[in-house]
Structure formats: structure tokens, C-alpha cells
Structure 1
Amino acid sequence: MSQNRLVPNTFLYTFNYAEEEEHLCKLEARSLFRSNLHAFVLESRMNIDPSRSPFIKEKIEVLFKCDTLEDLVQKVEVMPALNSTYKVIGVNYRDIDPLDKMAFEERKSIARQVGCLIPGIANLHQPEVVFAITKLKGKWYFGYYSENQGIWLIHQQKPHNYSTALTTRVARVLVNIAVPELTGITVIDPCCGIGTVLVEALSMGVNITGSDYNPLVMKGIRNNLAHFGLSGPVFLRDIRDITEMYDVAIIDMPYNLCSVVSNEEKFEMLQCARHFAKKMVVVTTEDIDGILNEVGFEIVDRCEVTKGKFVRQIIVCC
């Protein structure tokens, strides 16, 4: 960070999701921002990297929030000189209020007007710093701009995969729901399969351990991690053999024809998780509320994810 970089007062995030992903996006937002998402834009004191979530489109680190454009211009005029090249863009977000919306030519004109006032060297093609201007509920916002880099899209190209595995998109959201604070938290995926959750978690710097009882997947997991330059502990072991304690467990319950699990086995799996994890995020295609309650978990949040006729439940337990 350059010495003359200003400190933001708050952060403005814009979101994008498909209709069938709405509930999953809102569950993730409740976890990351400790706030309900009612629209496609959210103002928060939480500083989150936009690339953490598949649903966050962009972030503005708000330096100035003004009632009028004239007030904003006056604040920009007295900014300290920049050591970096820059450009200014105007931003509309999805489903914006018509009273806040800036037409294309208006956005360009305002960005040009404000950009000319910034003490520094403009570079419209390869700037070192990008500033953004937008309107929300009649207020003008100006600040540092960053976009989602879509890291999970790269992770789709794993050397090994299962047709029934979670998508990298859903896996990344699961990690965010389970681990809103990345540091100081120990995590386990005790049924890690081919390692989809592990890849997303490790790419975000999460302290996660993977394990699975199937020896046939071990080589695939390690190859997938190595393919992306990631490393982390992965063990061949049954969930019943886990003895160390973790802050959070992420469990994608077996559900395909090759992994038929009886109610007794589900009970035993979740009972084991209760013993080694303080919190759990579980993915299931079946109703397991009764089992969760019976083994001592309290359901604190949840949502459904629908893909065609296929429905997954995401359940957060403590």
C-alpha cells in the first residue's frame, strides 16, 4: 500500500447471482457480513476481498460519501497527490433504483470531470489504481475500486473430478459460510472426496485438513492440490478415527448410488462430527434435521440450492 493511500470509511459491495442461487448467496452474506442482503448492493464496515465469493461482483472502498456531486467534487479536489497512475469509472449495479442510475454518457462525463481533479497521472489503459463513483439511495460514493478475479473458475480445470462432486462455485461458498474469519480457525473436511472444498479453502489461506476413507481418491486429491500449487494435510482414515478437535467441519454427505448410507451410518457420521467439531456446515440431499438434533447439534441457519430437480440443503450447525 502506497504511503498516500487514504483509509476507507466503509465498503460498498455489488452482487450478482442466478435466481436459483439467491438463497445460497444470502446465506453466505449473512456469514461474511453478519448482515442481511436485501438487494444487489450492500454497504458494510467489513473489509472482504471480492474474489472470496462467487457472488460479489466488485468492491468500492469508500473514501467519500456525499449528498451531492458538488460536495464530492470538493473533497476530491483536496486529495493528497498520488504516487500511482489512476483512472476513474462510473458504476451502476444490478437492479439499481432508476433515481440513482447514471446513463452511459453521464457516467463517462462524471468520471472524466472527477478524474481531472485528482492530483496524479491518469492512465486509462493500465492504471495502477482504479477509482469508482456510484450512487446509492441518493448518496454519491467515491473510492478505490476492485473486481472479483473469479479464482474458482480456474479451479474447475482439476485433473481429477467426480460427476457428482460439488461445483467449485458451491464449494467456495461453503468455505465462506463455514469460515467467515480466515485466521486462527482450524477446519476439517472429513469426507473430502476428490478435494473440491480443500482446493477452495487452501486457495483462500484456510487452515484445513482433509481426510477420506476411500484409498482410491488419495492420489486424485493430492494431484488436484499440486496442480494448483497448493498443499495441506490429507489423511486416509475413517471419520470414526478422527481424534483431534477442530473449530469447524465441512461435510458433504454421501448421496449417489455408489455411496448408499443407512440412517444408522448417517447418525454415526454426524455423532463423530459432534465430538471433533464445535461448528459444522453440512450438505445433504435428505432430511437429517432429526439426526442433527439427536446427536447434539443446533441448526442456526440454512438454505436450499436447486439445480433442475436436484435439491441440496446447506445447514449450519453449532
Structure 2
Amino acid sequence: MTRLTSHFLSASALALAASLMAAPAQAQSTLEEVQSSGSIRIGFANEAPFGYQNIEGELTGEAPEVAKAVLERMGVTEVEGVLTEFGSLIPGLQAGRFDMIAAGMYVTPARCEQILFSEPSYAIGEAFAVAEGNPEDLHSYEDFVENPDLKLGVMAGAVEVGYAEAVGIPQDQLVVFPDGPSAVAGVRTGRVDAYAGTALTIQDLVGKNPEGVERATPFENPVINGEEIQGYGAFGFRKEDEAFRDAFNEVLMEFRGSPEHLALVEPFGFTETEMPEKTTEELCAAGG
């Protein structure tokens, strides 16, 4: 009896050992993966000054440069940019085409349902690019509500689509473009009467493509639910990557607003004035 029991336990132990050897190793989390490899892929939308390729083909802009500074402090030194249309950034992140979004994406309640956001890295208002001389005298989103013959250009997936709808601009007055340069071309050719974007985006586009277009001044930010709209840009992470987001946040919050941070983003038009006052929790809960 003792001999049989001993044989049975030995066989069981062998079977258990074999099953453990055959079991696949537990997959690394994204945080573990990027820290162990020292490399990461980030999605961007080629929208200056937030994230774009310069003439040398290098990834730069406010978001990628801040991301690189934070990630380096986390032991991640190789950053590969994955160029993506703005409206495809969230689906691309969810599909695993890249590990995080560094495109200056605004934190909104709708986006918070799809992905996780870091704390904001900046806050900024809106602007219009219009034809030279501003022939339609456009200075606010409300101008389009008052004149149904006008067309407003917006970028696919951008918050300006929601702003336009919230102030009452009908869908048939909106023309959606894949990116800023094509929208400015639409203004220049008369396809749209204005292109709506962040103040820094419009300033950058008009500065680089001044022929036939200008920035509308003065300009009134849209007022939605009694509050003047200001956008807060942050970094995006997959819902399952909370540990990665939290680790990134910890370093970001130590870095944000520091002299080194301000010097890093100054070439892209950001100053201490653009440092955010609201938290991601507040922004995700806004309006709901």
C-alpha cells in the first residue's frame, strides 16, 4: 500500500511539472514591456505644434517631446512615431498599432469612455483660419449659426466637431478634412469659409502657409453650457494599461511646469500661461 501511494504521488508530481513547463508564460504588461525593451511606439497625427514630423523626418512637437522626456526618466529611450490620421488615433491605440497617443489630444468625457488619459500637459483656446481679409467677418462659432450659407472646416475626430454641434451649427454646414494642411487649402480655395482649430494649430498653419489665408482676430471662444471652452491636451493609453498610465503620470506631474519643461515646449509656442488648472478626473466628468 505504501509503495503504491508513493508511486501515485511521484506520477502526480511529474504530471504537474510537465503541465507547468507546457503552460505559456504570463504576458508582460505594456509598462513591463516598454521598460524591459527600452522602446515604445507612439501615435501622432502630424498636427503642428502638437505632434509632427519636421523636415528631417524626425518626430517632434509639444506632445512627443514631453513624452520623450517623461519616458526617458522611466528608462524608455527609443521612441518610434506612428503617423495616423487624428480620427484613427484611438482605434489605432486600441488595436495595438502603438502603445500610447502623443498628439496633444483633448481630454473629453466621450474619449474618457474609450481610453485612459494622463493628467493634462497644457490648456488652450480656439481660433479660425480664414481667407485673407476675412471677407465674411468671422470671429466666432456663432457666426455660422447666424448664416446658414457659410461652411466651417473641421478635422476628422477633433473636438471642434463637437463644439460646432453644441453651439448649433447644422451638420450640413460642416466640411470634414483629414488634417490641418488640407483644411487650410480648403479655406484658400473657397471650399470652406473658415477652418476651426486650436489657437496654436491655426497660428502655426497660417504662419507656414500665409498666402491667401490669415488668423481671424479678434476671436471669441465658444461658450457651451455657460462655460467658455478651453481645451486640455493629454496622453492616451489603453483601458487595460492603467499601471502604465499611473507610472507615466507620476513622472509627468513632477516634470510639468518645471523650468526644464517650459524650456522644452517654448519653441512650440507654449508658455506658463498654457499650464493646465483642471485635472483629468474633472475633465472626464464634465457635463455628465
Both proteins in one fold, TM over 0.5: no
What TM-score do you get using the length of structure 2 for normalisation? 0.22
- Between Structure 1 and Structure 2, the one with more strand by share is 1
Higher relative contact order (CA 8 A, sep 6+): 2
- Between Structure 1 and Structure 2, the one with more helix by share is 2
Q: Which has the larger radius of gyration?
A: 2
What TM-score do you get using the length of structure 1 for normalisation? 0.20
